[in-house]
Amino acid sequence: MSEIETLTTPKKTENPPPNWAALGMGLFLSVSAFGLMGIAPLLVVLGLSGISTLGKNDALTPLMLASGAFALGLLLAPGAYLNARKFLNLPEPRPGLRSLPPGLLAVILLAAWVISLALGYILSDSPAISLFLLPLVNVAALMLPLGIALVISLRSLPLPGPRRIWSVFGASVILGPTLAIFFELLAFIGFVVLFILYVSSTPGLEVPFRLLMDELQNEMGSVDLIAQQATTLLLSPGAALLLLGLLALAVPVIEETFKVFLLWFYIGQMRSPVEGFVAGVLCGAAFALAENIGFSSAGAEDWLANVLTRATAILPHIFNSGLVGWGLVMAWQKRGYFQLGLAYLAAVLIHGTWNALSVALALHSLSGLAADVSPLIETPLPALITAGILIPGILLGLFIANRQMRKQAARDAAAM
């Protein structure tokens, strides 16, 4: 080949190597999506077949779980699609519509949420209609406040591409709750062992413990007697302390660790701690949605109170995971191990306080079945006052965190 031909012949462009990470993530999200959407019809059949035997309210539970599982499966689909495009070396699509201003978007979501709450409240009083419509309204009533919290947390922050967003969110829906449930099960087994050792060796608790065991082994055992003896044991000082240790210490440590588990696969690709905060918020939102769908699928009874309670639980999940995500990138890039430790400690403390309030209110609801109840449990006032301070405090924390992240993002952009 002559020199002229060499200069004029265009160079052959080599195809980039296959992105095996995108293939793995795409397959994981695809299998998970099909699994969730495949479970939904089985739950529908279970619910409809149980109307005559379980009653309409109990049959509603699998129907609500079905709609929730199907919705989660749909939310995994964008991540699977975008990762498939990445593996095939296709360009990542960009949204064609101009985004709404965050304030207007938050107002629209809030209005839609209020409508869903009102509609769900009306449907919960109509057993026949609620079987078919309440499961759908329940999903909307859980997703809309999550959208509001995301708008508050991520307002005006630089966001990663759609593939990263949907991958982090989708995989966290599966990985976070699965890992947390596994280790929480181990913690619960430890609690049961310590509980049995405590009540069997504490003077005054042998009798209710023996009565409880006898009733549980008796096929004709009295439900009221079982509840009374179990309450007496749970409200004893040592058992209440063990329960508090499980739910206010062990569970927060486990969940705040595994909610952001997926970030370890992306931490080396993040350019700043602001990206860690954004990714952490997405992990917390995914965990909160999966958890809320499980806890709120309890039928039409007390539906509104249940959904409102789960909506408030979104706040600590998102705030805590955002803090830990920020701390992880600080430690990875800037050796900010102190900041990571402080962020993780704050997340565990907030989560533990939240769970402690739930334990106190739950024990208060059982206090009428037992004598010699602690004054802190007998009245719900201390827990309600603390909750009244904690919820607005976390919401304010989200606004402050968003403001600080926007300032940091501006400094990072100026330094480039």
Q: What is the pLDDT of residue 208?
A: 80
Lowest mean pLDDT among 5-14, 17-26, 219-228, 269-278: 5-14
Each residue's pLDDT tens digit, 82-118: 999 999 999 888 765 457 788 899 999 999 999 999 9
pLDDT at 155 over 90: yes
Q: Which residue has the higher pLDDT, 59 or 45?
A: 45
Mean predicted confidence (pLDDT) in 232-242 = 83
Q: Which residue has the higher pLDDT, 291 or 368?
A: 291
Q: What is the pLDDT of residue 213?
A: 79
**Are 287 and 259 in contact, with CB atoms under 8 Å apart?**
yes
Each residue's pLDDT tens digit, 273-306: 999 999 999 999 999 999 999 888 777 788 898 9
- Residue 141's pLDDT band, with cuts at 50, 70 and 90, is very high
pLDDT at 272 over 80: yes
Question: Over the chain, what is the mean pLDDT?
Answer: 86
Q: Which residue has the higher pLDDT, 187 or 295?
A: 187
What is this structure's pTM? 0.89
- Residue 228's pLDDT band, with cuts at 50, 70 and 90, is confident
Q: Around Cβ 196, how many Cβ atoms within 10 Å?
A: 13
Mean predicted confidence (pLDDT) in 125-142 = 87
Each residue's pLDDT tens digit, 33-44: 999 999 999 999
Q: What is the pLDDT of residue 3?
A: 47
**Are 26 and 83 in contact, with CB atoms under 8 Å apart?**
yes
- Residue 378's pLDDT band, with cuts at 50, 70 and 90, is low
Q: What is the pLDDT of residue 118?
A: 95
Q: What is the pLDDT of residue 220?
A: 65
Mean predicted confidence (pLDDT) in 62-84 = 95
Q: What is the pLDDT of residue 163?
A: 93
Q: By percentage, how much of the chain surpasses pLDDT 70? A: 89
Q: What is the pLDDT of residue 6?
A: 46
Question: What SS3 string covers 178-235?
Answer: HHHHHHHHHHHHHHHHHHHHHHHHCCCCHHHHHHHHHHHHCCCCCHHHHHHHHHHHHC
- Residue 408's pLDDT band, with cuts at 50, 70 and 90, is very high
Q: What is the pLDDT of residue 239?
A: 85
pLDDT at 4 over 70: no
> What is the distance between the alpha carbons of residues 6 and 67, in angstroms, rounded to a whole number?
63
pLDDT at 347 over 50: yes
**Are 113 and 145 in contact, with CB atoms under 8 Å apart?**
yes
pLDDT at 368 over 80: no
**Are 291 and 177 in contact, with CB atoms under 8 Å apart?**
yes
Q: What is the pLDDT of residue 7?
A: 46
Q: Which residue has the higher pLDDT, 405 or 232?
A: 405
Q: Around Cβ 266, how many Cβ atoms within 10 Å?
A: 19
Rounded to 5 degrees, what angle do the CA atoms 195, 201, 202 make? Answer: 90
